[in-house]
Chain A
Amino acid sequence: MISFGQRSTISRFAIVGLLLVALACKRQQPLSGNLNVENKVAMRTVSLYYESPELLLAPERRNLPLPENPAAALDLVMRELLKGSVNAAVSRLLPADTIVRGAFLLPDGTVFVDLGGPTLTQGWSTGSHQELMAIYSVVQTVTANFPDAKRVRVLVNGEPAETLAGHVSLSRALTPVPSMVVR
């Protein structure tokens, strides 16, 4: 019963959010299939968060050509995060087969990050620490690079998920936790 209500609320939110984003884009300039053409693309240094040997999230700086429109840039930054660290000694936090299905920002500062892939779909077997690190690497990367983003709600295959691996509740948007990040 909970999941039905939740699902409809979320999809309602998602639709409203997408409409707002679409409207915002339209007001500035005609929407085309390629946002990179319509939006000015500039090189930006982004911070991607991976786990350090001290078991904390540490930023890895990377230069990326990004559209100025955060709605389009978000998606690209998320995909970049999931590529993993350039340092071979730093392991991936999310399963290697995880994909970003989409990411969008609502006007109230909530970012929806929609993940997918075989492991997350079938059920991921891991412990609390890794699950926390994986989820908060997403939350931290989003909020550190996009000042308008205040909190992150993680979806799986476009729908609300209870957890990724049986520990961390995804039923609400998560805010960054400074104690999980290197000083």
Chain B
Amino acid sequence: MKRFLPLLILAAASILLAQAPNQATLRAPTGDRQVTITHVNGQTLFAADEIMAGVGGSVSPDATGFKASLNNTNAAFGPDSRFGVVRDELIEMPIAPAIIEGRPYVPLQFLQGFLNKAADLEVVWDPVGRVLNVRPTQHTIIGVQLSVANIQGISKVVVSLSGPADYTIIKEQSAYTIGFKTQIRAPFAAQTYDDPYVAKAAFSGRDLRLDLRTPDAGADAYKLENPFRIVLDFHKVAPGAATLPSIVIPSKPVDTPGIHTIVIDPGHGGKEVGAIGPDGLMEKDATLTLCRKLADNLETKLRTRVILTRTDDSVVPLDQRTAIANQYKADLFLSVHMNAAVVKGAHGSETYFLSLEASDELAKKAAEVENAAGKAVPAAGSSDLKLILWDLAQQEYLAESSRFAQAVQEEMNRATGVQNRGVKQAPFKVLVGATMPAALVEIGFITNPEEEAKLKKDDFQKLVIDALTTAIARYKTDYETRIGVIRPSAGAEKRAGTE
């Protein structure tokens, strides 16, 4: 640290020096011009009217603050908020814009967000030369290479990329389409393969379409870095799973963000009976009964797509339950269980979300395995890597999973009036690998004779189903409000209820 001290002092000094002048150069496609800048709390702010004039737009005061206009696109901003609004999207700024002598000054992030959306312009600030560069966005073209190989019964499709790229994978009957968000340079238009699963690969625009030989192939998709690549493993879906999930609603990909698809997982099944009550009630039966009714209720009341990981008394492996949710691109995952304890009198519900090893340690391990694998296509035995990636999947959703678990537990407590056994974290296998907010609810202790008796009763089941529906509705409204899909005031109360 000490070694860097002179550098830090130098950097601090240069910032102090740069604060004095209040002129900068705007370098726009139409030419250079001088613009006024200022500094607030260490942040550089730019005179919005001068910048907008320089790129052919304007700024005018409006009822609540200011309005910037360019190419018939408007953005609202003001000194009271770190957020600007352009169309329906928010632009986040490190500090709120400032009004100095009646003139609005905005942070760089506002200019970047607005000019990108209004005119596809890129804004780069050079603090040393004090030049604000505004130029058409450089659309990088991503080179794509493709390889298909069948190793030990699994067909591995490796899509190697020349750089990072955003994409979506859409599953259809007998085909997968990778839709890139950036422009791509494809190696060929179409190619056929002599592979047990993959029949043909074809590029069209920004899409790569993989046609399969059989509709019953399952796929695991994951992305790797250094170099960037997308890997799809096609394999035969495990016996008994071919019929799952049995509620098939046309898989129209939903592009708008929000909670549209919910996977409900009835715990256990088949020979895996789960906990057993003193009167013989089995966890696997209690969860299935409850989840079927819950699915109906959710579909009717929330008008969301609901998928059950099992609809009958069958064994479904734990990782397949999560895989089903991932495959359907579910937005929410709830596993439903009945609890057991050796302590007499244990009662009440509890809700869990996943606990993981420290993420940096996992990430380090992933990098080690990845590096050890070299640059070649991951070998068939790259299961260590797969395991680690699977473990990391839920990581980025933990904060949301925690909020979801909280909503579930609160509604369960409210409905049943039992003591708060609270939201907890545990390394539950069924939650590992879920690429969406995920929680596991323990409805009650089946080992407690009183709770076992209640679990069999229709009115108690209805109470629980209503509580879970309300919890899911609450979380859905909360989430969609936070990401700006629905407005905070727009009937949040009405939507949260189960009507």
A residues neighboring B (CB under 8 Å) = 1-2, 4-6, 9, 51-53, 55, 91-93, 123, 125-133, 162-163, 165-169, 171-172, 174, 177, 179
Contact = CB atoms under 8 A, between A and B. Distances in A.
Contact of A128 (B276, B345, B387, B440): B440
A168 B272 contact: no
A92 B341 CA distance: 10
B234 to A, nearest CB: 13
Interface in B48-67: none
A2 B383 contact: yes
Contacts of B283: 125, 127
A179 B318 CA distance: 26
Contact of B340 (A5, A127, A171): A127
Contact of B442 (A2, A93, A123, A127): A127
Contact of B427 (A1, A91, A172): A172
Contacts of A167: 337, 426, 428-430
A172 B357 contact: yes
Contacts of A2: 383, 386-387
Given A5-B381, A128-B337, A130-B341, A168 B429 contact: yes
B339 interface: yes
B272 A128 contact: no
Nearest to A132: B426
B274 A1 contact: no
A4 B382 CA distance: 10
Contact of B341 (A4, A127, A171): A127
Contacts of B275: 125-127, 130
Assign chain B's interface to a size class: 35 or more
8 contacts: A5-B387, A52-B343, A123-B272, A127-B338, A128-B339, A133-B341, A133-B342, A171-B387
Interface of B: 152, 154, 267-268, 271-276, 283, 318, 337-343, 345-346, 350, 352, 355, 357, 380-384, 386-387, 391, 424, 426-430, 432, 440, 442, 445-447
B280 to A, nearest CB: 12
A162 B346 contact: no
Given A127-B337, A133-B341, A166 B268 contact: yes
B342 A51 contact: yes
Contacts of A52: 343
A166 B427 contact: no
B383 A168 contact: no
A51 B343 contact: yes
Nearest to A171: B387
B154 A129 contact: no
A174 B339 contact: no
A127 B445 CA distance: 8
B233 to A, nearest CB: 9
